Structure formats: C-alpha cells, structure tokens
Amino acid sequence: MLGSFGSSSSQSHSHPHHHDEQESTDHHHDDHQRRRFIAAAAAATATTTITATITPVIQIRQLLISCAELISRSDFSAANRLLNILSANSSPFGDSTERLVHQFTRALSLRLNRYISSSTTNHFLTPVTSINETAPADSSSSSSSSLSSLALLQSSYLSLNQVTPFIRFTQLTANQAILEAINGNQQAIHIVDFDINHGVQWPPLMQALADRYPAPTLRITGTGNDLDTLRRTGDRLAKFAHSLGLRFQFHPLYIASNRDHDEDPSIISSIVLLPDETLAINCVFYLHRLLKDREKLRVFLHRVKSMNPKIVTIAEREANHNHPLFLQRFVEALDYYTAVFDSLEATLPPGSRERMTVEQVWFGREILDIVAIEGEKRKERHERFRSWEVMLRSCGFSNVALSPFALSQAKLLLRLHYPSEGYQLRVLSNSFLLGWQNQPLFSISSWR
C-alpha cells in the first residue's frame, strides 16, 4: 500500500494486513502504476517540473500543488489536463493518498469549472456539487434534496464522533474546564452552546452534576439553524436529565437558515440570562465562521465578555485555512488533511463504512469549501491557536489554564479508545493541542 505524504515516520496500522508476500506484490504493482501515472502527468503539462529522485508520493503532492498553481495563473487548459490525470488515478476507495487526492481533485475541479462556467466550447471536468450547493430543479425537489443533504451531514457528524478522537477530545476537555470553574456552592448553572448540533457533549457533564450533592439545576441554551434537530436534541437531553433526577431546562435558539446568523453578533441579545445563574459559554468549532468579518467577530466577543461568564471554552482546528491567497490556503489544507486521512487510515479497517462517510461527507465538505469557494460564501476559515489567543486577549479575555487532571483525562481517552502512537497531545500556553504525528490538528482552551 502506498505510504501517505504527510507522515514523518512510518505508522503501524491497527487493522489486519495481507500476508507479506502478497503485500509486497501489491505494493510493487501499485508503485509501478503510480510511476506510470506520474510520467503521464509530467507529459500532460510542461509547466509541471518533477524531479526523478523524489518519491512518487511527494511527486503526487507536487502535482496537486502544480494544478493549484495553474488555476491561480488562469492556465485552465493545462490545469484541466492535469486534473483529468489526477482524477483517473485517484479513488474514494483506495489507500489514504488515493482518497485524499480524490477529494482535492474534486475541489480543484469545482474551482476550475467556476472560473470557466461561461464557456460552452471547452470540455472541462463535470462540476462537483457540494452538500450545500444542490442545484434546484423545482421547489419540492430542492427541499427534498436539502433535507437529504442535511441528514447525510448529521449522520457523518455522528460517525466522526464515534471513529475519531477529535470531537470527543475537545468536548471532554471543555466539560472538565466547565466543571472545575463551577464549584459546589453554585446551585443554578446556565450553559450557552453555540451550534449545539446533537448535544452529544452534554450527557457526561449532566451525569457529573447529578452526582453532586445537592445537585444544581441546569439550563442549556442551544443555537442552531435546523428547528427539528434543536427540538430532538432538547427532548433527548430532557429525558436523560429526568433519568438522572437532574432539574433541567432546554431553550432552543433557532436562527432561520436564510439569515446569516454566523456573522450576526445580535443573536446574543436573544439569550435570556437570570441573575442567580452561573454562566458558561461553549464555542466548540464555532468562532471560525465569524472570521469573514473580524470587526463583527470582535463585537461578538465583546458581547460575550459583557455577559460575565464564569468560563468560555473554545475549540478550533489548528490550521490557517483563512489565508487570502488561494495557493497558500491550498498547501496548508493539503498538509492538514493529509494528516487527518493518515490518522483514519492507521486506526480504522480498510472497509470501514464510517470512515468513508467521514472522509467523503464531513471532511470532503470542508475541503470543497476551503479550496473551491471564494468570498463571503466560504465558511471554513480556520486559524491557529496563536491567532485566537491574540484576538481573545485584545477583547479583554484572560486564559484559564486547563488542569493536570484534564490532561490526564485526555491522555486516558486516547489510550483506551484510540490506541495508536500516532496521536500526539501537547500543551501550549495552558491549552491543549491534539495532532497526528508532527501535525497539530485541533486546539482546546478556556477563557474568562
């Protein structure tokens, strides 16, 4: 099997392998096919320079970057030839490199087609339709397709939560920070969760609160743009709280999907605060959506600060996918998702249906957005922790150190449920970074 082009060292897989002899034969065949592919790609465009001494995997990475460069220079003909070769030699069912190339080729194809969509004479690749870009035929079919896309996205989120440590790590650490900030004397707790989704973060925290004596009351305000999901989330949490004997209220804050609520700081004024409650704010994978307008983000953060929360928990991807230059953004995304796909390859069996769903739907959607979308429609504007640190401090927040117990708990999560030496946990400015090999992927921090 072809190695991945993001790892600095080899990583043993947890799933079974073929016999050594068969593996050697398959590897030789794959390597031969890959070299033929690279030779064809080199011939396809004179602008792509390939050095014979570097490995095929690095060459493939360079081909993707070269294709992005060609599109940046508006050399659409050469880019199209390279895309056709990349597309023919990638697969959503191959090894991690082939699957990653498939996703980036789709995204580059969509970007290319948008540049030349007005042309009717050139035979370019068929544009790729992303989850949020369903072409409307009529109102009923468009509505049905949107519902189907939403269900698929929600299913992929649940799969992501099950098969990777990324969401569980951030939510577990955020919960611990909230629990440590709320002492036993505080009998009324209010958590505001921006983009609560299915609310899978909260049952462990509810269990911990129910074990306290006397148990406090808990109120959760959850925001979202799908009313049905909000209602079902509230019902599930209410039933779970009832089973624990925990006094609980859920307040859904529905924002219509046709309103650009992600960059509207005024949603905070819709949150009901009560004088005797201890407030915690949860922003897990949320704030990057506001980065399209930094001034509105600052207004949002200042309003959060004015609510006087006891703790604010923030989790984000540890990457700069918000660079204004497309090529810089592309290379950053390529390195980042190489590590993500490598981690999935190393920790899940080859035929894992959940892995395919996560790669093709969840991460595929992110890659499409970062690579193919420009302007205000681009949502996945990730930035690194250092950038968030500067922003938060400038808005009056101070960092609250995550505890040694939280660190031990995160390490235990990785050891018990994701036993691979590839995952790495490090502490940076009292905050935690989770990565694969030498590539940081996610950060979690707490603020006041």
3-state secondary structure string, 196-223?
A: CCCCCCHHHHHHHHHCCCCCCEEEEEEE
Q: Compute the distance between CA of residue 46 and CA of residue 48 in angstroms, rounded to an integer.
A: 5
Q: What is the predicted pLDDT for the residue at 17?
A: 41
Q: Does 99 map to a domain?
A: no
Total tally of structural domains belonging to the chain: 1
CATH of the domain at 409: 3.40.50.150
Q: What is the predicted pLDDT for the residue at 130?
A: 35
Largest CA distance in the chain: 73
Question: What are the pLDDT digits (tens) for 45-95?
Answer: 444 443 333 346 678 899 999 999 999 999 999 999 999 989 988 999 999
DSSP string for 368-388: HHHHH--GGG-------HHHH
pLDDT exceeds cutoff 60 at 301: yes
Q: Compute the distance between CA of residue 153 and CA of residue 221 in angstroms, rounded to an integer.
A: 23
pLDDT exceeds cutoff 70 at 131: no
Q: Compute the distance between CA of residue 299 and CA of residue 297 in angstroms, rounded to an integer.
A: 5
Mapped onto helix, strand or coil, the DSSP state of residue 248 is strand
Q: Does 419 map to a domain?
A: yes
Rg (CA), the chain: 23
Buried residues in 357-394 as b, exposed as e (16+ CB within 10 A): bbbbbbbbbbbbbbbbbeeeebbbbbbbbeebbebbee
Determine contact, residues 342/85, Cβ cutoff 8 Å: no
Q: Does 38 map to a domain?
A: no
Determine contact, residues 27/1, Cβ cutoff 8 Å: yes
pLDDT bucket at 376, cuts 50 / 70 / 90: confident
Main-chain phi, psi angles of 48, to 5 degrees: -95, 115
Torsion from C-alpha of 162, 165, 168, 169, nearest 10 degrees: 180
Helix ranges restricted to H, 164-280: 166-181, 202-210, 227-244
Q: Parallel, antiparallel, or unpaired for β 431-436 and 439-447?
A: antiparallel
The pTM assigned to this predicted structure is: 0.82
Q: Does 399 map to a domain?
A: yes
Q: Does 141 map to a domain?
A: no
Q: Does 302 map to a domain?
A: yes
Q: Compute the distance between CA of residue 331 and CA of residue 371 in angstroms, rounded to an integer.
A: 10
Q: Does 278 map to a domain?
A: yes
Mapped onto helix, strand or coil, the DSSP state of residue 310 is coil
pLDDT bucket at 263, cuts 50 / 70 / 90: low
Question: What are the pLDDT digits (tens) for 318-370?
Answer: 999 999 999 999 999 999 999 999 999 998 888 899 999 999 999 999 999 99
Q: Which residues constitute the domain of residue 185?
A: 165-321+383-447
Give the percent of the chain with pLDDT over 90.
66
Determine contact, residues 214/187, Cβ cutoff 8 Å: yes
Q: Compute the distance between CA of residue 422 and CA of residue 10 in angstroms, rounded to an integer.
A: 9
